[in-house]
Structure 1
Amino acid sequence: MTATMFSPELLFYSKTHNPNPPAHLGSRYRKVGGFLPEAGNTIVCHAEKGSRTQTVLIEAREKYLAMPEAQQFLFTPISSLHMTLFEGVIETRRRQDFWPSDLPLETPIDDMTELMAARLEGFSMADPFNVAVVEARPSGLLLDGATENDRKVMRAWRHAFADLLGYRQPNHEDYKFHMTFAYAIERLEDEALPRWQAMLDDVAEDIRRKAPVFELTLPAFCVFEDMNHFHELLIFDFDA
């Protein structure tokens, strides 16, 4: 198989096509020893506990774990599976374009969470949206709105959060909604790419068939100490 037969998402995890070290290795997680402390906050929709969607996601995750190269990835717990709707602030990314413009970059994360939660109390966006899988990649799933209208609504939520919180990250307009299963510790050798492409295609097809629309919890403003658990502080309800 040639490179053109592999998805760009897979090639990003190829040693040959992307020899750079994984972005968060050493700051978010170790090669050995799991996740590192990395406090922050975020706005996410969790996989609905006990739902058909959660079952399908667990089945998909098992296919990743069954790959011969699974040890080259650090997997997140099933309980933490979520789709990020809007990225909050995080200890390891204290930069102006990732931070509310009117708040000092040295503000402690706990204080930032309190200040941001106060702003979010006035959040008024309530249009509902449905989510579906776009494709599978080595770190998990790419997601988006199930319909064109859903995609517009999800972007509208992001714009509303950005306006209220006072920052737009550099990828705000072209942000890729996703659900993370795992973080790369070591990228893939060329010989592994064909079986990974086959697995990823199978996972995406299986999810489309079994969970064409994801059952997710309502968007929630969450805090976290690391990537193991996201604790909900504020829940944003949809219009009935």
Structure 2
Amino acid sequence: MTRRSFLLQASAASSATMLSATLLAKAQAPQAANIPNRDTVLKFNPDGTPRHFAGNTVICHLLSQCVLRDVMVELHEAMKTSSFKSKLGLTSTDSYHMTVFPGANDLARNVYGWPSYVPADATIERCNEMVGERIAAARFHCELPLRMRIDASATSNYSTALSLRLVPVDDAENRKLRALRDELAEVFGFRTKDHATYQFHMTMSYQIGAFTAREQSDYRAMIGAYAPRMVKAAPVLELACPEYCTFEDMFRFEPRKLLACS
């Protein structure tokens, strides 16, 4: 081998190594940059405990006694003893729910949305009252129950931990749920940026730190084991009447009014 050939091969190898390192860094960068995301920082402290985060919302609580909850509580306990437990802000097993409409909160009035009829400087308590009055006076055209299913693939491949991704069981159910959200947007007086594309879910934990390679592997293995069990527990998840709730943090959602649905 001539000296020129050697130098060319060495340069090519060096460039390939640098390119691989760059691609790896780019692959890892989005997760590192987005964890914890803005939503998580608002709701959880760095040690995983909930922050004060007051507001209102419309949700469907998961039944207090059902097989799906049993599996979710088991998964919750598994996460509490996992290798990645310090990277999670676990939600309360008593508060599992699917959000129908996110509502307003006190810490990000200009980010999530604020009712058009509520003064910008009103307290969150006053906001809760004013929205509650409009909820109580409204009638919604929505046949119950809401019928959802767990998307195991989307749940397993979701970019952060841990959100059960839910989808309506069919097109008719999707149209019904989207129409309900349109009606709620009128009552609340605002729409979020993702109103038309909002992805339904049940949050089991917020991710407050990026996983190491080993932690990521452990997490994927855990979700791979539990996702099929959750799907089996609730092939069709039937959710009862949506509730207008107020909250002080992510651990408790206080029902104030059942939506009048017909």
Q: TM-score range by the shorter chain?
A: 0.7 to 0.9
Mapped partners of 1:165, 1:220: distance in 2: 14
Alpha-carbon contact 1:126-1:236 (below 8 Å) kept = no
What is the aligned-residue identity percentage? 25
Any runs of at least 4 consecutive aligned residues in structure 1 with deviations exceeding 3 A, and if so which?
Answer: 14-17, 62-66
Report the structure, 1 or 2, having the larger helix content.
Answer: 2
CA deviation after TM superposition for structure 1 residue 170, in Å: 0.4
* Distance in 1 of aligned mates of 2:58 and 2:71: 23
| 1:97–1:51 CA distance, 2 compared to 1 (3 A) | closer
Runs of 5+ consecutive residues of structure 2 not aligned to the other structure: 1-26
Query: Within 5 A, what are the aligned runs for 1:1-240?
Result: 16-20=29-33, 21-23=35-37, 24-32=39-47, 34-95=49-110, 98-121=113-136, 122-128=138-144, 129-135=146-152, 136=155, 137=158, 138-239=161-262
Inter-partner Cα distance in structure 2 for 1:143 and 1:150: 12
CA distance in 2, matches of 1:62, 1:25: 21
CA deviations on 1:74-121 (whole Å, 9 max, x unpaired) are 111110111101011001111176112233222111111111111112
Long gaps (5+) in structure 1: 1-13
Report the Cα distance in structure 2 between the residues aligned to 1:54 and 1:178, rounded to whole angstroms: 14
* Alignment partners' CA distance in 1, 2:169 and 2:109: 33
Q: CA offsets per residue over residues 103-144 of structure 1, 9 Å max, x none? A: 322211111111111111213223222111113242221112
Residue 237 of structure 2 aligns to a residue whose secondary structure is coil
| Partner Cα separation in structure 2 for residue 79 and residue 55 of structure 1 | 12
Say which is worse superposed, 23-32 or 113-122, in terms of deviation.
23-32
Corresponding residue SS for 1:131: strand
In 2, are the aligned partners of 1:46 and 1:80 still within 8 Å (CA)? yes
The secondary structure found in structure 1 opposite 2:166 is: strand
Give the Cα–Cα distance (whole angstroms) in 2 for the partners of residues 112 and 85 of structure 1.
19
- Aligned partners of 2:182, 2:228: CA distance in 1, in Å? 31
The 8 Å contact of residues 131 and 143 in structure 1, kept in 2 or not, is answered as yes
1:7 corresponds to which residue? none
- Compute the displacement of 1:71 (Å): 2.0
Counterpart CA distance in 1 for 2:235 and 2:174 is 15
Structure 1 counterpart SS, 2:197: coil
CA contact (8 A) 2:139 2:261 kept: no
Q: 2:104–2:112: 8 Å Cα contact kept in structure 1?
A: no
**Alpha-carbon offset, residue 193 of structure 1:** 2.6
In structure 2, relative to structure 1, the CA distance for the partners of 1:97 and 1:36 (3 Å cut) is closer
Q: Say if 1:126 and 1:238, in contact at 8 Å, map to a contact too.
A: yes
Deviations 1:148-170 (A, max 9, x none): 22222111111110122211110
Label 1:170 to 1:191 Cα distance change in 2 as closer, same or farther (>3 A). same
| Greater C-alpha Rg | 2
Structure 1 residues 120 and 74: CA distance shift in structure 2, 3 A: same
Superposition RMSD in Å: 2.1
